[in-house]
Amino acid sequence: MRKTSDLTISEALRDPLIAMVMRADGVKLDDFKQLLETAARKRQPNASKVGGFVNAIANRAGVNPTTVSCFC
């Protein structure tokens, strides 16, 4: 299974597929950049109650929480 990660803003702005879709939709690069930067500023990490619970149980059991299977 291949592990993927989200694109950074600069990677998204350079991505050829995203550029193609933006051209097709008539979206300007500066507008898209501003949208991504605004969204990044507003985004706050949400500590999931379930995730916190899983981490607490795993820590109590002496298990690394990143190895605990969870369908959250």
pLDDT, one tens digit per residue, over 13-45 is 999 999 999 999 999 999 999 999 988 888 766
Written as six digits, the tokens of 37 are 């930067």
67, part of any domain: no
> Across all residues in the chain, what is the average pLDDT?
78
Burial class (CB in 10 A: 0-12, 13-18, 19+), 54: middle
Contact (CB, 8 A) for 9 and 37? yes
Q: Considering the domain boundaries, does residue 24 fall inside one?
A: yes
Residue 70, pLDDT above cutoff 60? no
pTM of the model: 0.53
Query: Is residue 68 assigned to a domain?
Result: no
39 φ, ψ to 5°? -65, -40
Domain membership of residue 52 as a residue range: 9-61
Task: Count the domains in the chain.
Answer: 1
As a whole number of angstroms, the distance between CA 46 and CA 68 comes to: 19
On whether residue 52 sits in a domain, the answer given is yes
Distance CA 47, CA 39 (A): 18
Q: Please report the pLDDT score of residue 40 as a whole number.
A: 85
Give the pLDDT confidence score for residue 51 in this predicted structure: 67
Res 61: pLDDT: 72
Is 15 inside any structural domain?
yes
Please check whether residue 72 lies inside any domain of the structure: no
